[in-house]
Amino acid sequence: MSYIDKPFRPYAPGTQPPNDSPAYRSTILRHPEQKLLKIPQTVTEISGPVFTPEQYKPTENLAVINGHEALGERIIVEGHVRDEDGRAVPNTMVEIWQANAAGRYNHARDQHDAPLDANFHGAGRVFTDEHGAYRFITIKPGAYPWGNHHNAWRPNHIHFSLFGAGYASRLITQMYFPGDPLLELDPIFLATPDKLARQRLIAKFDLGVGKPDWALGYRFDIYLRGRLATPMEG
């Protein structure tokens, strides 16, 4: 049996966010109303295109543009991408996007009354190496208000998208920061019912990941499947 045919166990109940999460209001507009249809994956879905650093230049430091540094608390984020058996997943394109230190995205639709930073675009990509490890430098994103309910604020977070070998192997999630008081108020974080599974979305503060006198560090390991699977957005 090749890895292509290998079945994998369904997620344990509550460890992934449901498609419809009433407290996260806009999910009602996006979730399917019909029962999901299983489409068998063939070579077309699970092989190429393979994204490579040669084609898609990595952005190891999001916090510098043309030699000018972004404002904010400089941080280093690193971690591993692993499968259900803890094996490294190499050559995975990890795309990241986030708000600036003031809590504003560099995007026309973000009209939050907070300053933009000319030296921070807030998007980049890196690739996992042969050990499944990735690393990037950025600034800690600020919290921002969103219209979900009265005085709703998103906790500090970085969006992640992971591409495996093909388009059908894309996974999207968010990384949060430890000790954030907004976590327990955030319907997106709370959409994953299982408390232990939610904790897997919170990066670990790690001085060893940082660089002395230069940046603090966080470790965020991502598990694609299995008991330790990272909650993903549907």
The residues carrying an active-site annotation are: 105, 144, 154, 157, 159
Neighbours of 72 (CB within 10 A): 18
Of 171, 202, 209, 17, nearest to 94 (Cα)? Answer: 171
Strand positions, DSSP E, the chain: 64-65, 68-69, 74-82, 93-97, 123-127, 133-139, 144-145, 153-154, 157-163, 170-176, 204-205, 216-219, 222-223
Neighbours of 45 (CB within 10 A): 13
SS3 of residue 60 by DSSP? coil
At 233, phi and psi to the nearest 5? -85, 135
